[in-house]
């Protein structure tokens, strides 16, 4: 009996790895509030509720990366207002990204779950110098919504999280750095809103239907 059960278990395990666990994306760092202080903690020190939110986001993060890597040659173009020295020049900057390139960037990215910082409705932010993407409380708590076109509908839930992940994956890539006149200012107030829709819609294109 035992001799027959073992090979069956092994086969089931191998199948699971091939179909579901091709890439398993997890947060690397956690920032939380304890009492009146905000502090970094390990995964094991998260509360039950925090861990549930972390796991829910990781599921979307993993699904997004696996979608990108399943069609690595898919491409999306991005056009944003050209910014020079903090001012719009009236022209546009354009560049192209591929699913495989963004997926690889996301796999090597340090992801921080930040429950503590007050960021209003901001969903996430990427610091290319430290190769870190920080996901804020709004998105972790399930309240994050994204828009793919001006005056278009808002998307929430898992799709919003996947768009957010891929949007942040495009930030910090070499294509972005080469494509933008003034990379460092993009994504920061008052220019923040200018890039949301083009980045979100490029993310939707890369994720596919
Ligand atoms: Zn952005």
pLDDT per position in the chain (209 positions), as tens?
334 333 333 444 443 333 344 678 999 999 999 999 999 999 999 999 999 999 999 999 999 999 999 999 999 999 988 888 777 888 999 999 999 999 999 999 999 999 999 887 889 999 888 999 999 999 999 889 999 999 999 999 999 999 999 999 999 899 998 998 876 555 554 456 778 999 999 999 999 98
State how far the Cα of 73 lies from the Cα of 17, in Å rounded to an integer: 23
CA distances from 66 to 58, 165, 173, 176 (A): 12, 12, 18, 22
Q: How far is the CA of 73 from the centre of ligand 1 (A)?
A: 22
Q: How far is the CA of 170 from the centre of ligand 1 (A)?
A: 8
Residue 56: name the closest of 148, 114, 139, 167 by CA: 139
Q: How far is the CA of 39 from the centre of ligand 1 (A)?
A: 25
State how far the Cα of 143 lies from the Cα of 131, in Å rounded to an integer: 25
Q: How far is the CA of 79 from the centre of ligand 1 (A)?
A: 13
Q: How far is the CA of 111 from the centre of ligand 1 (A)?
A: 15
Q: How far is the CA of 165 from the centre of ligand 1 (A)?
A: 10
SS3 state of residue 47: coil
Which pLDDT score is estimated for 19?
Answer: 38
Is residue 31 a contact partner of residue 54, using CB atoms and an 8 Å limit? Answer: no
Which pLDDT score is estimated for 68?
Answer: 96
State how far the Cα of 7 lies from the Cα of 9, in Å rounded to an integer: 5
Sign of the Cα torsion 37, 187, 193, 124 reads negative
Is residue 119 a contact partner of residue 100, using CB atoms and an 8 Å limit? Answer: no
Sign of the Cα torsion 175, 173, 163, 89 reads negative
Q: How far is the CA of 196 from the centre of ligand 1 (A)?
A: 6
Which pLDDT score is estimated for 143?
Answer: 87
């Amino acid at each position: 009996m035992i001799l027959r059960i073992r090979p069956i278990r092994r086969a089931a395990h191998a199948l699971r790895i091939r179909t579901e666990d091709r890439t398993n994306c997890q947060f690397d760092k956690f920032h939380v509030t304890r009492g009146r202080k905000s502090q970094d903690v390990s995964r094991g020190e998260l509360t039950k509720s925090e861990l549930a939110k972390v796991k829910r986001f990781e599921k979307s993060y993993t699904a997004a990366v696996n979608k990108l890597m399943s069609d690595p040659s898919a491409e999306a173009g991005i056009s944003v207002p050209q910014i020079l020295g903090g001012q719009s020049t009236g022209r546009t900057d354009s560049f192209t990204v591929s699913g495989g390139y963004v997926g690889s960037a996301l796999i090597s990215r340090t992801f921080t779950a930040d429950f503590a910082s007050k960021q209003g409705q901001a969903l996430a932010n990427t610091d290319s110098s430290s190769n870190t993407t920080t996901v804020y409380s709004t998105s972790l708590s399930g309240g994050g919504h994204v828009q793919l076109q001006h005056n278009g509908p808002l998307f929430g839930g898992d799709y919003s999280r996947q768009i957010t992940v891929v949007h942040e994956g495009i930030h910090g890539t070499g294509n972005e750095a080469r494509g933008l006149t003034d990379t460092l200012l993009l994504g920061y107030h008052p220019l923040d809103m200018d890039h949301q829709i083009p980045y979100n819609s490029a993310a939707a294109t890369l994720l596919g239907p």
